[in-house]
Every structure is written in structure tokens, then in C-alpha cells.
Chains A and B, each alone.
Chain A
């Protein structure tokens, strides 16, 4: 399923992520997943939240540089080889991946994928 991810530009400065989470919690926005892409001087915080549009608006209001990105959200069984199967499908369909992050607990694994081509990716996995 295609969902919206909130990307936030952050300087590498102590307490900066904390400020983002504080602002979101003050507005009752729940975070489902996030990852941090980092370089020595800046990072990009990528968030999956309960209301992406609202989160982006609030963070922009607090002077953050924010962008909404389409990503694909997938579930697969939490067992050996399950993710491999999906990646195989994507490779066959010649979908390249810019980045992905995943988390597994219990029987289910959650995967967020940012492909270079969203439509092709959707078709390849049949969602």
C-alpha cells in the first residue's frame, strides 16, 4: 500500500529529534515508525505517523524544513526468507530501491520501501 512519509531536515545537534517528537505528541500525532539517514553534519528523519498531512503542517509551522514522500508499506510473515521473496519480485520487475527500513515483532514484519518508481513497485508486488 502506498502511504505518505514525513521527511524532516535536521542538523546534527543534540536534542533536535526530541523536539520533533515533542511537537508531534503535543498535537496528538502518533509515530508508527521512523528511520534516520545521517551524514556528518545533517540528517533526514523519516517518519510514518498517524496523520502525515497534519504532521507536515505542524512541523512547517515550527520552522522545520519538511517534505512528504510517497513510500510503499508492506507486511510479510516474520519468518526466514519472507523479505527475500519480496525483494526477488522487485528485482525481477527491475524496481530499484532508494532506501528501506523494517521492523518485525510477533508474526508480522513491517517494511517501508522507497522505490525510484512507485507505480512499477506497486505492480510488481501486486498491491
Chain B
């Protein structure tokens, strides 16, 4: 099913025309309402009239997370305070949090794009859907919530916490779909086991998983343990929240709601736009946003864009799986390491739980990487030789994938901290000078 065939299946020419029109309008709007953008454009000797089509987007300045911090709290807001009806904020682990104000129309667009996602996953008005993203400043909870309501399904605003109660609700209210982080989905599966229940007892059918990078192997693991089909949902609070892109039944990349969020891939070093198919940093321009519109926002997410009509009928550009946020990339002894690579290896080996932690340190000026992993109860044996063999198999596999050696540490099952929100997979103890 397709929620909005007019937009989701638009011909490329029509989309190009729509995007061009919207970009011109957007640039005029920010030029007159956001001093930050006006100053930047004037410094580049650029006026709104120079933007004639979407292809002129390369002339426009970029926006970074640092720009949002520097203009805390409302410096990038374009709409007057009287038009803002809601504010979300991203977790500011370092420095100021990012504040995003939404107008009534922004919220309508958001629940529209969320309804597109949910429909693509197969959610209908008959479904009961649990939103287990955190409700609050984080965009996950409320964003998904209003999408489910807009679609007309029944929403259970579970949020996070009290997982046993959540599982009982899923069973008793015949909940068929759930939105949460992949980390939480795994925690849900573990709790299910502990309660002595099976996936058949709860009957989940659809999972909308996002808010953190996850691998194909993680998808298989979650699908197997919860008995559902897992779909990727992508979004970021600076642009909107969940619903920026979504997988369809084909699961060949995530369709971007291009009529609202214009994607580009750039080379993060030269800032040049790259042709479709090449990997680089994902950049979004919010074509229709009123509250805090952004020009060419650098997401730091690394992926590729794919063109071509999908077998599902949608025509929108698709983004490949996120390799990782460039912020998540570790440089260990000069080699780039993504936690997702380690995840993929661990999930290939049935001896280990899908929980892991990378501990990076520097000893005598040499970087060290320790990979902590939990041994599955069924694979524990009294024979120390087999246990060491298990450890060596993982170390060898990691070395061939990462090109650096990692020290594997076998941990007791259940000993690595479980996350109900975004999973934490890295502890970096290096003091970099």
C-alpha cells in the first residue's frame, strides 16, 4: 500500500519541478527571516534570485551541527514565536542541545511522512501499534505517535521502561506493530525469554526500527527472535525526526520523502557534491519547513543514494544503509573502524549474544581495541580449550574484517549494559592531545 501515490510515485520530471519551486521559495524565506543565512549568502555574493532550479542548490552554503549550537537557542528559527507550537531538543552530550521549533504546518508534514512510512511497512487502520521510542524532547516518541494517529491505526504510547508490562500489553491488546530502537528490540526479546513467553504468544508482525545505525545481521537476529518483519526508519531531529526516509516491502534502500527533504551526498573533505551511487556524507535541505528550515544540513551520516523506480512503484531516491555516523567512526592505529562492522561479525557467530562493547585505549602510545562480547548460555562448555577456540575464531574474523587485531574478551551472558534507547557500543579512553 502507498499512502500518498501522488507524491511518492511522482515522475522524476514532476519531482524536479516541485523541488525547484520549493527551493526557490525556501531560499527567499530564509533570506528574509534568518540573519544567519542572509549574512552567509551576502558574503558569497548570492541572492535568492540566483536560485532558479533545484540544481542550483550547490551554490548554497552548508549548515552544520556547530552552527545550530552557536545560534542556540532560537537563532536559526525562521517563523515568529507566535507560530511555533512545539519544541524538541536533541541530546546535547557536548555543549548546547539543539533546539528545533515546529509550526502547525511542520507537524502536519511530519505526521504525513510518518504515515507514508507506516503504510509502506504494511500498517493499516486495523492495526494496533506500540510506540516504544522515548516520549519527550527526543523526536522518536511523539513523531511516530502522530504518524500512527494520522494513519488511523490505534497507537499505544508505551515509551520506554517497564518492559514486562509492555510485553503483557502487546499480548493482551493484540499489538501488531512496534516502533523502537534495534537495541530495545533485542532487550524486548530477552525479556520475553525471561518471562517464559514465546514470539508466538505476542504475535508482533511489523517492527519500525531506527534512531541508531544497525546491520543486516542485526535485522535477521531481531526478526528471528521476535517473529516479525523489521523495517528501517530514518530521521534526525534537526531535519524533522523519524520519517525522513523509510523502507518498503522490497527493502532495497530507504525511500526519501524527497518532496520535503532534498538529499545530496558530498565528499566530506572537499564538500563537493558527489554523483548518485557514490558513498559520502548525507546532506539534507528542508524544502517545506517553516519553523527551523535548514539549507544543506550536514548529517555526518555516511551512505549512498540510489535512483531508479523501485519495484514497489515509488519513484523517490533511496538511501543505502547508513555505514555509521562519521562521529561514530573510530580511528584506531590509523585504520577507520565502524562499530557496525564489529556488530556484523558478532552476529554472524551463533556462540555470542548480540550485545557488545568496544573499549579503545592507548597504551604506550599504541591504540588498543578490546571487543567485549557475551557468550551464549548454550555455548558455554566446561572445556577451556573450546572456550579459547571460540575466542580465537572471533578474533581472527575481526582481524580479517577490520584489518587490525582486537583483543576479544569473553563476558558472562547479561553482563553488558542493555539499552532501552539508543545503544551504547563504544568506550574510548584515549586522551587525545
Q: Which residues of A contact B (CB under 8 A)?
A: 5, 7, 9-11, 37, 39, 41-42, 44, 46, 60, 63-67, 69, 98, 114
Contacts and interface: CB of A to CB of B under 8 A. Distances in A.
Interface string B362-397: 000000000000010100111110011000000000
B428 interface: no
Nearest to A99: B384
Interface stretch (B240-248, B334-342, B409-417): B409-417
29 contacts: A7-B380, A7-B382, A9-B380, A9-B387, A11-B410, A11-B411, A11-B412, A11-B415, A37-B384, A39-B387, A42-B387, A42-B409, A42-B410, A42-B411, A44-B384, A46-B382, A63-B412, A63-B413, A64-B412, A65-B375, A65-B377, A65-B412, A65-B413, A67-B380, A67-B381, A67-B382, A69-B382, A98-B383, A114-B382
A63 B353 CA distance: 14
Contacts of B412: 9-11, 63-65
A63 B414 contact: yes
A37 B409 CA distance: 16
Contacts of A10: 412
A42 B375 CA distance: 11
Contacts of A46: 382
A75 to B, nearest CB: 23
A37 B385 CA distance: 11
Given A39-B387, A42-B387, 7 more contacts: A9-B375, A9-B387, A11-B411, A11-B412, A39-B388, A44-B387, A65-B377
Interface string B402-424: 00000001111111000000000
A98 B382 CA distance: 10
B66 to A, nearest CB: 40
A11 B391 CA distance: 14
Interface residues of B, number: 16
Contacts of A44: 382, 384, 387
A60 B387 CA distance: 19
Contacts of B413: 63, 65
Nearest to B378: A65
B380 A39 contact: no
B218 to A, nearest CB: 23
A41 B377 CA distance: 17
B361 to A, nearest CB: 15
Contacts of B388: 39
A41 B409 contact: yes
Contacts of B375: 9, 65
Contacts, number: 44
A41 B407 CA distance: 10
B357 to A, nearest CB: 13
A44 B383 CA distance: 9
Contacts of B410: 11, 41-42
A11 B414 CA distance: 12
A42 B409 CA distance: 8
A7 B386 CA distance: 14
Nearest to A116: B383
Nearest to A68: B382
A7 B381 CA distance: 8
A10 B415 CA distance: 11
A50 B412 CA distance: 25
Contacts of A7: 380, 382
A60 to B, nearest CB: 8
- Top 9 A-B pairs, shortest CB-CB distance: A7-B382, A65-B380, A69-B382, A41-B409, A9-B380, A65-B377, A63-B414, A42-B410, A37-B384
B385 to A, nearest CB: 8
Contacts of A65: 375, 377, 380, 412-413
A67 B413 CA distance: 14
Contacts of B415: 11
Nearest to B380: A65
Contacts of A114: 382
Nearest to B415: A11
Nearest to A41: B409
A79 B412 CA distance: 41
A71 to B, nearest CB: 9
Nearest to A63: B414
B283 to A, nearest CB: 43
Nearest to B384: A37
Contacts of A39: 384, 387-388
B238 to A, nearest CB: 40
Nearest to A9: B380
Nearest to B388: A39
A95 B242 CA distance: 64
Nearest to A37: B384
A5 B410 CA distance: 22
Nearest to A70: B382
Most buried by A among B377, B413, B414: B377
A89 to B, nearest CB: 24
A46 B415 CA distance: 20
A72 to B, nearest CB: 14
